[in-house]
Amino acid sequence: MIFDLSNPVLSLDGEPIKDGNTDKLLTVSSLVINALMTTYKDDADCKGEEKLKRFNISESAMKNASQVELTSTDVAFILKYVEKAGFSPLAYKRVYEILEKKE
């Protein structure tokens, strides 16, 4: 399934959120990439195959955020890391609503 991760992250009142102190908008792809590329305390136990999957999905999201092809397994994998990243409930929800879209 193709996903558009280029969507801006919206605040509770529906306004796009800026990425830090820049003029750029925070996007779903940036949340996904940050979650997947972060090093976690338990990464020493993470197998190389899983690290490569994290990299490959991140690279795909970076190259063409509006057309990222993901399987249902990939979606569950990403959501696991977005949860692990400790983002706010709002950030998790914005990623979740894009990735859990129905065909």
pLDDT at 76: 96
pLDDT exceeds 50 at position 41: yes
High-pLDDT (> 70) share of the chain, %: 98
Write the DSSP symbol of residue 10: B
pTM: 0.92
| In the chain, where the domains are located | 2-99
CA distance 21 to 95: 21
pLDDT exceeds 50 at position 103: no
Residue 21: how many other CB atoms lie within 10 Å: 5
pLDDT exceeds 70 at position 11: yes
pLDDT exceeds 70 at position 22: yes
